[in-house]
Amino acid sequence: MNYKLLYNPFERYQERTLILVGSLALVAGAVLAFFFKARFDGVLDLHFASQIELWQAFADQGVNVACLLISLGAVAFYMNKRTRIIDMLAVCLFARLPYYLLSVFNVNGLMVRISEEILKDPMALAKGDIAIANLFLLLVFSGFSLLAIVWQLALLYNGTKVASNAKGTTYTILFVIAIIVAEILSKLLINY
C-alpha cells in the first residue's frame, strides 16, 4: 500500500475528484454529527452535546471549511500568487475527512454521559470512582482524536504546500499561524 496517499493525495488526484470526495464527506460528516450529536465547533474542535439541530451540523462544517479556506488561502496566495482557489477548496474540503468519523464515539449519547459523570465529580478520575470501561473508552477516544487531528493537519499542510508550491520555514510558520487564525475565527463565528 502506498502510505503517501494517506497524508498527501493531492499530488496524485485532480482537484475535481478531491472536491467531490470532500463534499460527500462533508455531507456525511454533518449527518453523522447530527445523529451522534457532535458539534464540530472549531477547525480543531469536537464536542458532544445532548441536542443538536441538523442545520447546526451543516453550519459547523461550512464555517470550518470557510475559515480554513480564508486563512490557508491567504498563506497560499502569499507564497504563490498563481495559486488557484479551486485547489485550496479541494484541500480544505478533503482534509476534514479523518475528523468526521469521531462522531460515532457518541453512540447512544455515551460520550455525553461519560463527560457528565466526570463533570459531576471532577476528582472522580483521581479517586478512581469512574468505571474502568468508561475510562478505557475515554482513552481510546482521546487516541483517535489525536490521530485525526494530526492526520487532518498533515493533509492541510501537504495540500496547501502542493497547491501553492510553497517551501521552507516561512511556509511552515505561516501555516501554523493560519491554523491558529482559522481556529479562532471558526470558534467566534460558530459560538456567536
Residue 133 has pLDDT above 90, yes or no: no
pLDDT in tens, 29-63: 999 999 999 999 899 999 998 889 999 999 999 99
Question: What's the pLDDT score for residue 3?
Answer: 67
Residue 101 has pLDDT above 70, yes or no: yes
Question: What's the pLDDT score for residue 138?
Answer: 84
Mapped onto helix, strand or coil, the DSSP state of residue 127 is helix
pTM (two decimals) = 0.89
First to last CA, the chain: 44
Question: What's the pLDDT score for residue 2?
Answer: 65
Question: What's the pLDDT score for residue 8?
Answer: 77
How large is the average pLDDT for residues 17-26?
A: 95
How large is the average pLDDT for residues 137-150?
A: 92
Question: What's the pLDDT score for residue 92?
Answer: 95
How large is the average pLDDT for residues 140-167?
A: 93
Give the model's confidence band at 132: pLDDT under 50 very low, under 70 low, under 90 confident, else very high.
confident
How large is the average pLDDT for residues 163-168?
A: 92
Q: Please state the separation of Cα 75 from the chain's center in Å.
A: 19
Tell which wins on pLDDT, 79 or 122.
79
Question: What's the pLDDT score for residue 169?
Answer: 95
Mean pLDDT across the chain: 90
**Quick check: 156 and 64 in contact, CB under 8 A?**
no
